[in-house]
Structure 1
Amino acid sequence: MDKKAEILSALIDKRGSRRAFAEEIGIPPTTLQSMLSRGVGRASIDNVIKVCRALDITVEELVIMAEKQQPETIAAHHEGENWTDEELEELERFKAFVRSKRQQQGG
């Protein structure tokens, strides 16, 4: 599985069932599974966009997250705090945004 597929898998799994997610966004569950197992690069761009939109991220943010992927450390930095899945996803989107700004500034 490529890094982009790993990221999408983790975000989708936090939401619940992959089958329900696929049905919610209007693609066959087998298509979603193929995208996650064979790699995002082999999927149609339309399906990649549908998945990203449903996860409230852009394709560019997905690419940036994959390029800069680091081990999951949110829980370690926020020990003792109770974060919802939605809050953790928002933190991940914010991290991707900060990384993209850093990259645009040449850092």
Structure 2
Amino acid sequence: MVKRAEVLKKLIDQTGLNTKAFAEKAGIPYTTLRSILMRGVGGASVNNVIKVCRALGITIEDLEEMAANDNGSIQTIAAHHDGEDWTAEELETIRKFKEFVKSQRKPQG
């Protein structure tokens, strides 16, 4: 789905890094990232999509939700922490906390 690639492009733009610098941060070749952004996420390897999402501080589920709900403006889910790199364990803890907070919402309607 091209929508996912559009979401990734917007989120990468919000990091302030150019595509080449972001690819380096994510640990994938620039040409691979460029292909994901141009052709869509569907043809990319799962490992590369995970690397991009981790570098953005989001999960695959976050990406799916943003792609499904995008109305032209992306609301960044991850907090930006200048100069900090998160471990996989820390990102998982953040994801779990986010799910906990969502579970505390009162039903609307």
Q: Please report the TM-score for the alignment, with normalisation by the length of structure 1.
A: 0.66
Supply the distance in 2 between the matched residues of 1:51 and 1:73 (Cα, whole angstroms). 16
- Cα RMSD for the two superposed structures: 2.8
Structure 1: 5+ residue stretches without partners: 75-87
Amino-acid identity (%):
50
Q: Distance between the aligned counterparts of 1:51 and 1:64, measured in 2?
A: 16
2:24 and 2:50 map into 1 onto residues whose CA distance is 15
Structure 2: unaligned runs, 5 residues or longer: 80-97
Aligned to 1:27: 28
Report SS of the residue matched to 2:70: coil
Deviation beyond 6 Å, 4+ runs, structure 1: none
Q: Give the deviation of 1:45 after TM superposition.
A: 0.3
Count the aligned residue pairs: 84
**Mapping 1:74-85, distance limit 5 Å:** none
Aligned runs of 1:1-107 on 2, under 5 Å? 2-15=2-15, 16-72=17-73, 90=78
- The letter for the 1-side match of 2:56 is L
Instruction: Give me the TM-score of the superposition, normalised by structure 2.
Output: 0.65
| Distance of 1:4 and 1:55 partners within structure 2 | 13
Q: More helix by proportion, 1 or 2?
A: 1
Contact 2:24 2:30 in 1 (8 A): yes
CA distance in 2, matches of 1:21, 1:61: 19
> Which whole-Å CA distance do the structure 2 matches of 1:5 and 1:18 have between them?
13
Q: 1:23 & 1:66 partners in 2: Cα distance? A: 24
Distance in 1 (CA, whole Å) between partners of 2:46 and 2:68 is 19
Residue identity in the other structure for 2:38: S
Contact 2:26 2:52 in 1 (8 A): yes
Answer whether contact 1:11 1:89 (CA < 8 A) is retained: no
